[in-house]
Structure 1
Amino acid sequence: MRASNLAPRLLPLIGPLALLALWQAAVSAKWVNPVLLPSPAATLGVLFTSVADGSINADLLATVSRTFYAFAIAAVIGVPLGVALGSSVPAYRSVEFLIDFFRSTPSSALIPLFMLLFGLSDANKIAIAAFAAVLLILFNSAYGVMNARKTRVLAVQAMGVSKWHVFKDVLLMESLPQTFVGLRTGVSMSLVIVIVAEMFIGSDTGLGHRIIDAQQVFNIRAMYAAILVTGALGYVLNLAFFMLEKRFVHWSGK
């Protein structure tokens, strides 16, 4: 492979390598207490061991499962409702305050309310994550429809196309790029809220539980290892939706 073709493929590695170098420099120079910040090698060693012996599998699976259910609920509700509201500006304006109010409210502040409604079960964690994600998805889907290119809409209307086909073939398709932005943001938000809920709501499994449990027993290496897994999971989910967007919304920006 030519160097000119290899260079772009290596660009994504620059950030992680720079982070590891900075991390190692901080440890070597003792900018932070070494007890509180173990070396990258020690942390990665614990991470690879937990993956190899399968001790992290149950926690990883629990977090992925809760995130998936929360995101699926949010997408099933948020996309159709957002498209419906976006196709009628008066309808959207009538609920705009409520959408922006709850979208601006930190979902973690609502944890006590959801605990009263759902108790300490998994339903609690899934419900609050779905609530946070659905607002982001709904908002982006609605704006995707409302901001569809007017020239294309007017062009097909001038051809005598029915309103249903204008909506289905123009408005809906034009809204997909913005909808995918909402979906990508929504899945990230689902993961964040699930992790927070696992940390602060009664839970026996999950990466959030693993992080807070390691912190409480002062197993700092295991705590950082779990944080790295959480970050990697978020990156993989975001990358998956980015690839889906490139595959199904290839006309975006054209």
Structure 2
Amino acid sequence: MAIGPVALFCVWYLVNVTGLVTPRLLPSPVRTLQSIWTNALGGGLGADFMRTLGRTLHAFAIAAIVGVPLGIVIGASEKLYRSIEFLIDFFRSTPATAMFPLFMIIFGLGDFSKISVAAFAAWLVILFNVAYGVMNSRRTRILAAQVMGASRLRVFRDVLFFECLPQTFIGLRTAVSMALVVIVVAEMFIGSDDGLGKRIIDSQITFDLPQLYGTIIVSGVLGYGLNLVFLGLEKRLVHWAGRS
């Protein structure tokens, strides 16, 4: 697990020492790590980290609460899914950043504007994956439950929900990463007083490259950590995935 970070550090150090890239544009990894440590202790990096994390989780929670049940309903009816498939694919394929002006007009420049555009982007990912998981669930299990007299609600709750969980978790992991990306970009370009995105754009303006690279690394660590959390939840809750 540590091989990747160590290899990256070594390559970065060699490129810096040999001058393949001027140190003015690529500070040494040691200076960058020192910048992370200094800013974490007294430079407000911790507060910005928590603000970005909070906005990301807020957007993700909205997307999941709305997207999972709606995806199950849409996926349970192939006719319904096909009727709105174009809209889902159209908005899912539209870059979330292209929606910034629309959300700024509707919600202004506050936090809710950032959270809403991130929630919208994450919601589409969740909706598509849940609906796809329901549509591709094992029909034999559904038929078996119906033959045994299970009601439509019981089939929905005890069969469809669990059948679509593996695909749902794929959607959730992708969605939380999407939410983080959109939040960081929104913090950079939609008026913000804090957050990792604001710190990145401020570092670029002041040409504080150790802080710039350091904040990018912290953002990557945050995204990687969120992915690990959902992988752990998936292994614990969907332990039957891949078994017949």
Q: 1:51 aligns with which of 40, 54, 66?
A: 40
2:214 corresponds to which of 207, 225, 230: 225
SS of match in other structure, 1:205: coil
User: 2:84: which partner in 1?
Assistant: 95
Q: Among 185, 202, 206, which residue is 1:196 paired with?
A: 185
- 2:93 aligns with 104
Deviations 1:121-168 (A, max 9, x none): 111100100010000000001011111012322333333333332222
1:179 Cα offset (Å): 0.5
* Aligned partner (choices 233, 236, 244) of residue 247 of structure 1: 236
Superposed counterparts of 1:43-82, under 5 Å: 43-53=32-42, 55-82=44-71
1:94-133 residue pairs with structure 2 within 5 A? 94-133=83-122
Equivalent of 1:26 in 15, 21, 25: 15
Question: What percentage of residue pairs aligned between the two structures are identical?
Answer: 58
Q: CA deviation at 1:200?
A: 0.7
State the number of aligned residues.
243
Paired letter, 2:242: G
Amino acid at match of 2:20: W
TM-score, normalised relative to structure 2:
0.96
TM-score (norm 1): 0.92
| Residue 157 (structure 2) aligns with | 168
Deviation readout 1:86-111 (Å, 9 max, x if unpaired):
01111111111000000000000111
Residue in structure 2 matching 1:157, options 141, 146, 149: 146
Which residue of 1 is the match for residue 200 of structure 2?
211
Structure 2 gaps, min length 5 = none
The match for 1:186 among 175, 178, 183 is: 175
Aligned to 1:17: 6
CA RMSD between the two structures = 1.2
**Structure 1 Cα separation of the partners of residues 44 and 65 of structure 2:** 33
Which of 142, 166, 175 is matched with 2:131 structurally? Answer: 142
How big is the shift at 1:34? 1.0
Gaps in structure 1 of 5+ consecutive residues: 1-11
Once the 2 structures are TM-superposed, how far is the Cα of residue 14 of structure 1 from its aligned partner?
1.4
